[in-house]
Amino acid sequence: MTQTLETGTTTQERVDAWLADFEAALAARDAERAAGLFATTSFWRDLVAFTWNLTTVENRDGVADLLRATMESTDARNFHTTEEPTEADGVVDAWIGFETAVGRARGHLRLTDEGAWTLLTTLYELKGHEEPLGEARPMGAEHGANRNRVTWAEARRAESEELGRTREPYVVVVGGGQGGIALGARLRQLGVSHVVVDRYDRPGDQWRSRYKSLCLHDPVWYDHLPYLDFPKNWPVFAPKDKIADWLEFYTKVMEVTYWSKTTCRSATFDDSTKEWTVVLDRDGEEITLHPKQLVLATGMSGKPNVPELPGQDVFRGEQHHSSQHPGPDAYKGKKVVVVGSNNSAFDICGALWEVGADVTMVQRSSTHIVKSDSLMDLGLGDLYSERAVAAGVTTQKADMIFASLPYRIMHTFQQPVYAAIKERDREFYDRLEAAGFQHDWGDDDSGLFMKYLRRGSGYYIDVGAADLVANGDVRLVQGQVVSLSETAVQLKDGTELEADLVVYATGYGSMNGWAADLISQEVADKVGKVWGLGSGTTKDPGPWEGEQRNMWKPTQQEALWFHGGNLHQSRHYSLYLALQLKARQEGIPTPVYGLQEVHHLR
């Protein structure tokens, strides 16, 4: 047990004392006293436990404000540590548990001499609506003799025949990629009737349809789905068809109610009945559903940004967005121009070069590149790796450690990582620069992950293609594409690039565009931009939001939710979204604190 020399108290006693003081202040409904237990510069991140929202408040006045609004209804109590706290560099780290009036919660506390520096509080289950896990798992078999026996399969079949015909689902999730599937699995466990719809033929087709050389850029420890980890022999970077098959298998074994070949045509919310009217085309049949909640899990990498250029109609070669790129096989010996210099552009250039195409990359603005092995080692290794697992950092624990870092200061944890990467791979970056590649480290040198959270673009995790650019095997041209002729791509400075194929690796639009397409421009504008933190950096305009805009939390449009992100986010945040939906289905009061204001339309 660690002991603080000056006071003679142990870290455990310090944390216990803080938790007891905090609980006493809450019990006395004294927000100011509770806020006084925080340091002057402090952050409290709450995921649904107090606020029925995903919110971060700052400093004592922020804490007091949150508590004044929420402490009565939350009635939080029984705060305790769940393992022995540790201390390093003057900061005590403690894992905590507590309960609220309606649920059970866990969290994390960082304590300095001045008080709480960071606090994370997260709801993980609702009392009376616990998931059927462990001791509470279903029997499956029904022992005894029963003439009216209904087997598991019969019950499932009856459910799927009724759903959407004689029984309305409570939730419709539009989009059955990894996001929709993970949420569907959680809703099933929580007993929330739902249907996940996707226009593809089979779950996993989102990945099957992408270019053939694609492998996940994130490692296996980061990618587990809820409830069911990948097996221990799963590749570190899953090839796209393997992840597709896993998603299809997962959908089946987790009994996600999933309608393939189903396109959502429109959705309208009726303010008086508090119901959506969702019009679907299910393999040619029009079906209208009336759920109470609508989730758009339509993908942040789903709505392609395709530039409109004069001459596209006269160009005699082939042209497509990166999302439509079939892979390199048909382009051996062909001249290919790839417009863009981020992940997809590099992956596609690399695969085309491997089959012997003549490839040119057109770079318009700077990109951040980080070598995959450096990122795995220095960026993710402490949390998501075999090394982390050996040190007791399970994926669930890693998710919570990650969640415990407030976004406001997350970049300060990232900057030293990228400084170390810069040093380690100096020779690589020098070669890239010498080849004329415009490279950046993010506006404040905080690297890839902050770029992802802020703007969801502007980077490449290098798995080899950057060397092709650095050594000239893939030609690099700087400039802005302005038009196409019959045979070439034309740049602003007059450069002409002969092409048989043009690939627009120009990224994807805001998820807000899906709301405009499916619901209305008015609702899309009411909800505003989706994604980003309001950091005031490139493509993430302020003001500061504290959390990712509109993701996994209530929006300005009642009963409309957005879900998605990478596999880590889909896994972690689907829990909080599922609990918010479950509480509403059960009629549990969900007073939302700090509903996000809208500052940007898209």
Q: What residues make contact with ligand FAD under the rule CB under 6 A?
A: 174-180, 197-200, 206, 210, 214, 216-218, 263-264, 297-299, 301-302, 343-344, 518, 564, 566-567
343 vs 374, beta carbon nearer ligand FAD: 343
Cβ of residue 548: shortest distance to ligand FAD, in angstroms?
13
Q: Nearest approach, Cβ of 552 to ligand FAD (angstroms)? A: 11
| Tokens representing residue 278 in the block | 């969702």
Q: Which is nearer to ligand FAD, 120 or 197 (CB)?
A: 197
Of 342 and 490, the one with the shorter C-beta distance to ligand FAD is 342
> How far apart are alpha carbons 106 and 99 in whole angstroms?
8
3-state SS string for 229-242: CCCCCCCCCCEHHH
Helix (H, G, I), strand (E, B) or coil at 269: strand
Find the radius of gyration of the CA atoms of the chain: 26
> Please, which residue, 177 or 442, has the CB nearer to ligand FAD?
177
Compare residues 34 and 197 and give the one whose CB is closer to ligand FAD: 197
Least Å distance, CB 199 to ligand FAD, is 4
Q: How far is the CB of 520 from ligand FAD (least distance, A)?
A: 14
CB-count exposure of residue 31 (10 Å: 0-12, 13-18, 19+): buried
Taking the complex as a whole, the smallest distance from the CB of residue 344 to ligand FAD amounts, in Å, to 5
User: 354: buried, middle or exposed (CB in 10 Å: 19+, 13-18, 0-12)?
Assistant: middle
Alpha-carbon torsion (383, 389, 392, 398), positive or negative: positive
Q: Could you give the CA distance from residue 595 to residue 528 in angstroms, rounded to a whole number?
A: 13
CA pair distance 477, 272, nearest whole angstrom: 57
Nearer to ligand FAD, 206 or 510 (CB): 206
Q: Could you give phi then psi for residue 199, rounded to 5 degrees? A: -75, -15
**Among residues 311 and 327, whose Cβ is nearest to ligand FAD?**
327
DSSP structural state of residue 243: H
User: 103: closest CA among 599, 531, 590, 488?
Assistant: 590
In whole angstroms, the minimum distance from the beta carbon of 129 to ligand FAD comes to 25
Q: Which of 125, 278, 247 is nearest to 184 (CA)?
A: 247
Specify the residue, 177 or 291, whose C-beta has the smaller distance to ligand FAD.
177
End-to-end CA distance of the chain: 52
Least Å distance, CB 260 to ligand FAD, is 10
Cβ closest to ligand FAD, residue 299 vs residue 317: 299
C-alpha distance from residue 541 to each of 367, 455, 538, 544, 602 (Å): 19, 10, 7, 8, 11
For residue 278, the surrounding DSSP H or E stretch is strand 275-282
CA–CA gap between residue 388 and residue 400 (Å, rounded): 14
Minimum distance from CB of 229 to ligand FAD (Å)?
16
Q: How far is the CB of 429 from ligand FAD (least distance, A)?
A: 23
Nearer to ligand FAD, 220 or 474 (CB): 220
In terms of CB distance, is 561 or 593 closer to ligand FAD?
561
Least distance (Å) between residue 569 CB and ligand FAD:
8
Residue 226 Cβ, how far from ligand FAD at the closest point, in Å? 13
**Secondary structure (DSSP) of 292-355:** SEEEE---TTSSB-----TTTTT--SEEEEGGG---SGGGTT-EEEEE--SHHHHHHHHHHHHT
Asked if residue 541 has a cis previous peptide bond (ω within 30° of 0), the answer is no
DSSP helix/strand/coil, 104:
strand
**Cβ contact 428:370 at 8 Å:** no
What's the chain's length in residues?
602
| Nearest distance from C-beta of residue 454 to ligand FAD, angstroms | 16
Integer Cα distance of 167 and 190 in angstroms = 18
CB-CB contact of 317 with 431 (8 Å): no
Which residue carries 């449009």 as its tokens? 557
Q: Which is nearer to ligand FAD, 65 or 241 (CB)?
A: 241
Inter-CA distances, 514 with 264, 462, 518, 560, Å: 11, 30, 6, 12
Q: Of 176 and 442, which CB lies nearer to ligand FAD in the complex structure?
A: 176
The strand pair at 358-363 and 335-339 is best described as parallel
Ramachandran area for residue 24 (φ above 0: left; ψ -120 to 50: alpha; else beta):
alpha
Q: Which is closer to ligand FAD, CB of 197 or CB of 578? A: 197
> Please, which residue, 116 or 183, has the CB nearer to ligand FAD?
183
CA gap 143, 136 in Å, rounded: 17
**What's the min distance (Å) between Cβ of 348 and ligand FAD?**
9
Say how far apart CA 378 and CA 448 lie, in whole Å: 12
For residue 432, give both structure tokens.
């890239």
d(CA 158, CA 155): 5
Q: Measured from the CB of residue 421, what is the shortest distance to ligand FAD in angstroms?
A: 18
Give the shortest CB-372-to-ligand FAD separation in angstroms.
10
